Amino acid sequence: MAKKRESSSDLKDQILETTEVLLRRYGASKLSVVDVAREIGMSHGNVYRFFPSKTDLLNAIAAKWLEKVHVPLGEISICDLAADQKLKLWFETLIKIKRKKFLEDPQLFAVYLELAGHQLEQVNNHVDTLVTQIEKIIEEGKQTGMFSVLDTRKAATNLFHATATLHHPVFVSSPYYPAEEEVIELLNFLIRALS
């Protein structure tokens, strides 16, 4: 009963999209591979050709999610702005993206939050990518004499840790999230500290 041939990658994308739709509609706890397959109109066995396990499918969803975070930030990290301005914009954008994702799509955000607790490697890679972007901006600031730090990598790591209350999923989704004013205040304080 095989249907008309479709490109593998199209089908893979369709599975991912449908999974996102169902995650948004019913949340992670109600997601079953059988449902995803039924929604597309195929047997669930076939989904396993593309994703060896449900966990792999969810990881792929999370990976897409994370990409949407670090791609726009990557663009900022290579844009044409003074280092301090750029660093501020970079963090403001990171924070805006996270807040927006949380507010617009709490169900998907919850999936990410849950996965963040289990998928050490994927999260570590994501953090590494982001810290490396910060590192580049600080390095530029050093070149122009705007910043003066001994160890750029350490400074970047410090900035990322110190701003965790502003972008870490646990805080972003918490009622303790600081007011806009406090966010700006903390960012300015930290960026000033690099001079």
Partner DNA sequence: TAATTGACAAATGTCAAATTCTGTCAATTG
Partner DNA sequence: CAATTGACAGAATTTGACATTTGTCAATTA
Is 175 a binder of a copy of itself (CB under 8 A)?
Answer: yes
The item of DNA, a copy of itself, none sharing an interface with residue 2, based on CB under 5 to 8 Å by kind, is DNA
Given a copy of itself, DNA, none, residue 189, with its beta carbon under 5 to 8 Å by kind, binds a copy of itself
DSSP annotation string for 122-141 = HHHHHHHHHHHHHHHHHHHH
The entry of a copy of itself, DNA, none near residue 5 (CB within 5 to 8 angstroms by kind) is DNA
Exposure b/e, 55-84, CB count within 10 A at least 16 = b: eebbbbbbbebbeebbeebbebbeeeeebb
Q: Which is nearer to a copy of itself, 1 or 120 (CB)?
A: 120
Cβ atoms of 159 and 88 closer than 8 Å: no
192 binds a copy of itself (CB under 8 A): yes
Judged by the rule CB under 7 A, the positions of this chain that interact with DNA are 1-3, 5-6, 8, 11, 29-35, 41-46, 48-49, 52-55
DSSP state of 7: -
* Residue from the set 49, 68, 100, 154 that interacts with a copy of itself by CB under 8 A: 154
Q: Which residues make Cβ contacts (< 8 Å) with residue 91, sequence separation at least 6?
A: 159, 163, 166, 167, 187
Helix (H, G, I), strand (E, B) or coil at 30: helix
Q: Which parts of this chain interact with a copy of itself (CB under 8 A)?
A: 117, 120, 123, 154-155, 157-158, 161-166, 168, 170-171, 174-176, 178, 182, 185-186, 189-190, 192-193
